[in-house]
Amino acid sequence: MVVKVSRELARHNMNEPSQNGSTSQENQDIVNDLRSLFLGEKLNKLKIKVQYKEERSAIDLERPVNFSSLETYFTQKYRKSLSIYYTTSSRDLLIQIKNQEDLDEIVRLYDASGSTKRLRLILSQKRDAPEYKISESNAGIITSITETSFTETTESQASIASASACSGFYGSTSSKLTEEIANGNTPRPPTCWREGACLGRGAFGSVYVCFDVGTATHLAVKKIYLRNNNNRSLRRKLANFEYEINLFSTLSHPNIVQYKGMQQTSDCVNIFMEYMTGGSLKEQINTYGAVPPEVARDFTGQILSGLEYLHSLSIVHRDIKSSNILRHADPPRVKIGDFGSAKQLQAICSEQGVDYEGTPHYTAPEVIKDSRKFDPKSDIWSVAITLIEMLTTRTPWAELEPGAVVYKIAYEPIAYQLPSSVPKSMRQTIELMHGTIPEKRPNASQLLQSEFFQMSRDAFKRQCQAR
């Protein structure tokens, strides 16, 4: 074994390619690990892969990792004030690192995973931040951070390709989706419209009610403001996003919000959608309190019905949460909004220097641990958390910031206390939906066919009254 180690070290020192075809970056990481294990060289470093726009690099940090040093290093290197985000290899999770506490939690999560891959960070220029200037007080070399050679590997090339592809899908595009697109008519965005009151502001932009002058109907429009539309990378992302929105506009189901097309101007992207008069489920909970179990069951069944349709088309939502469940007030009906767009919007906002505030409280543990990509079973976990929020007005660990909650979700039993009025059948269904083993979670179709969702409203009401 020592001979093999020596040969590998010698090969690396002579810059010879490894016999297994590994890249230089992989070789460097292997050699460091071998030195630490067999030659007694203690390399107490955190290995990081960094992306800023189209540029990718690798650095090694001395432990304990210092947030101030890391932030200063990036500022000096790129001459800009940058926001720092942690992400997974699939880009299904994006958490902003704002301080030392956030960084400590992310490193704790990474260490617990036992991953041999580098921890991934994405940098984004802060919107309206002044140009950074080096002064005597901030100039200098940060000795705790070492730049290492970085070679574009098959993995990173694949990640670029996947980021450019339609991000709303999982697996291969289904024949049913092809049929839906062929049979559907793509709604055209309004050519003459008037902007009305602001309905709300979220991570990806502001939503307004608008009036379509041509049809005399009300729509909702999500506005995402652009800082620099001439960026090649941004133009590519916007083109992919417009393709997705136009594709999704052909889809129709009673429990998904209808897209109405997209328009681009020199400084803004306008996404037109069906106007939901009752606002979001989040707003209802914040205004009126907990949802009674009977109504929560009805709403959850409607959410699952919309997901069953999307999943049958190989579309995974990725961002199910109460603020993305929209309501018609009369008759009461809920619909899933923002389906299929979360990943593309994250990428666009990061290009624009928008501080994206993620909501990992709804994210499944396998996604946080980076052990599995977002898929239909991850959506089911998110529905379970939304149902818990309906019944209790809060998500598990709602008091924790995003950087602190990810470790809890990944490695600790989920903690919540349901009201006494919630019957056993509902408690058991919730437990099935947030099971930690994705393969054992029922899918949307199985849940809708279960005894819990098949029983009549009167029968369930009697169960609630018997508590």
User: Annotated active-site positions, please?
Assistant: 319
Question: What one-character DSSP code corresponds to residue 196?
Answer: E
Beta strand extents in 226-370 (DSSP E only): 259-264, 268-274, 325-328, 333-336
Residue 124 DSSP symbol: E
C-alpha distance from residue 144 to each of 13, 319, 411 (Å): 23, 37, 30
DSSP summary character for residue 9: H
Judge whether 223 is annotated as a binding position.
Answer: yes
367/359 Cα distance (integer angstroms): 13
Query: How far is C-alpha 193 from the geometric centre of its chain's CA atoms?
Result: 32
Checking 295-298 for CB contacts under 8 A at 24+ apart, the result is 295/332, 296/387, 296/390, 296/391, 297/426, 297/452, 297/453, 297/460, 298/332, 298/457
The beta-strand segments (E) located in 183-267 are 193-202, 205-212, 217-225, 259-264
Please give the structure tokens belonging to residue 182.
């062929």
Cα four-point dihedral sign 455, 458, 459, 464? positive
Looking up tokens 């880009």 gives 91
- Tokens read off for 243: 């393709």
Across the beta sheet with 217-225, the strand order is 193-202, 205-212, 217-225, 268-274, 259-264
Whether a cis peptide bond, with omega within 30° of 0, leads into 423 is no
* Residue partners of 140: CB distance under 8 A and separation at least 6: none
CA-closest candidate to residue 245, choices 344, 123, 120: 344
Residues 109, 115, 118, 119, Cα dihedral to 10°: -10
CA-CA distance, 385 to 378, in Å (whole number)?
11
Residue numbers belonging to the annotated binding site for ATP? 223
Residue numbers belonging to the annotated binding site? 223
